[in-house]
Amino acid sequence: MLNLIILQGRLTHDPELRSTPSGVAVTKFSIAVQRNYASKGTERATDFFDVVAWRQSAEFICRYFRKGNLIIVNGELQTGSYEKDGIKRKTYEVVATNVYFSESKQQAADSTLGGASSSIDTLEGNSDFNKQEFEDDDDMLPF
Residue 118 binned pLDDT confidence (cut-offs 50, 70, 90): very low
- How far apart CA 99 and CA 73 sit, in angstroms, is 5
- How far apart CA 118 and CA 65 sit, in angstroms, is 11
- Residue 121 domain flag: no
Q: Is the pLDDT of residue 83 over 60?
A: yes
Residue 37 binned pLDDT confidence (cut-offs 50, 70, 90): confident
Is pTM, for the whole model, over 0.85? Answer: no
- How far apart CA 15 and CA 32 sit, in angstroms, is 14
- Residue 63 domain flag: yes
- Residue 30, domain extent: 5-35+45-102
Structural domains in the chain (count): 1
Domain CATH code at residue 22: 2.40.50.140
- Residue 26 domain flag: yes
The answer to whether residues 14 and 30 touch, using CB atoms and an 8 Å cutoff, is no
Q: What percent of the chain has pLDDT over 90?
A: 63
- Residue 93 domain flag: yes
Pairing of strands 25-34, 70-84: unpaired
- Residue 68 domain flag: yes
- How far apart CA 30 and CA 61 sit, in angstroms, is 12
Residue 19: per-residue pLDDT: 96
- Residue 30 domain flag: yes
